[in-house]
Amino acid sequence: MTTPDPLTGEPFSGFGLGLRRTHYQDFLEGDVPVDFVEVISENYMVEGGNPLRILEQVRTNMPVIMHGVSMSIGSADGLDRNYLKKLKQLADRIDPLWVSDHLCWTRTSAHNSHDLLPLPYTHEALDLVCDNIDHAQTALGRPMLFENPSSYMTFPEDEMTEWEFIAAMSMRTGCYLLLDVNNIYVSAHNHGFSAEAFLDGMPLDRVRQVHLAGHTDGDIKIDTHDQPICNGVWDLYAKAMEKLGPVATMIERDDAIPPLPELLDELDMAAKIAERSRELEAA
């Protein structure tokens, strides 16, 4: 199934869910009312097996977005060539709307942390990240999207804000952006900055997708993807949609995954908020 490339053609503004094992059968047996699904790339970077077979079946019915968690775009050791090779093979096989990953690092030359670790927002780190993005985009033969991560610490060496870093990164590499609204909300609380200032400082014309998710509340908010979306995140999403053009919106749930109708109710809420926000912008 061929889909239009929103990075070079018409904007794609659908609403989708993550394709998780819990709901495989729903997607195989029924007409799930979503415009696309997003998958964790690493779960399908294999030669065969049932998950890949299911993904290919789902792909015949709707567009797929590939979202990675292990590229380690901030790695000082550069990118793993074998990883990029397998990622490209999957992308060539699935023909996704786009391929995305996170602005973070996950590994050294010898160890993989299996976590999205923060970067210092310095000019040296920016140079390194941009070199790695250029490498990845060249290897894949396509522009990528990169997501703002949730954050629990900062570095005294920081020379710019996160949004200034992301804006410079996008301008220098031509990459696009995945705006995670929950991550903005979590990081703003944890570090005491303004979520609205983050939105105002972002190059929103480069955003092609929005993530929504729930988190664990507390003195430090944790991005756990195991809770319903809270009112504060919905409010921030509404403000973001007033500023954004047509983008894809996707709800992430990776633990305590509820029955599909509950997620579809949240997705319907997102669609209604997006419609109201655009009506306000047009008024």
What is the value of pTM for the model shown? 0.94
Residues 6+ apart with CB under 8 A from 74: 103, 104, 105, 117, 119, 125, 128, 129, 132
d(C-alpha 209, C-alpha 96), whole Å: 14
Q: Which residue has the tokens 């029955």?
A: 259
Who's near 218: CB < 8 A, 6+ residues apart?
Answer: none
User: Do residues 129 and 144 lie in contact, with contact meaning Cβ atoms separated by under 8 Å?
Assistant: no
Identify the burial level of 164 via C-beta atoms within 10 angstroms of its C-beta, where 0-12 means exposed, 13-18 middle and 19 or more buried.
Answer: middle
Distance CA(176)–CA(229), nearest Å, equals: 25
Taking only the tens of pLDDT, the chain with its 283 residues reads 344 555 656 678 899 999 999 999 999 987 899 999 999 999 999 887 889 999 999 999 999 999 999 999 999 999 999 999 999 999 999 999 999 999 998 876 666 656 788 999 999 999 999 999 999 999 999 999 999 999 999 999 999 999 999 999 999 999 999 999 999 999 999 999 999 999 999 999 999 999 999 999 999 999 998 899 999 999 999 999 999 988 999 999 989 999 999 999 999 999 999 999 877 777 6
CA dist 1 and 192 (Å) reads 45
Q: What DSSP assignment string belongs to 236-264?
A: HHHHHHHH--S-EEEE---SS---HHHHH
Domains of the chain: 15-282 (3.20.20.150)
Could you give the CA distance from residue 194 to residue 165 in angstroms, rounded to a whole number? 16
User: What's at 199, amino acid-wise?
Assistant: L
**Alpha helices in the chain, H assignment, sequence order:** 24-29, 50-59, 81-94, 123-140, 162-173, 181-191, 195-201, 231-243, 260-282
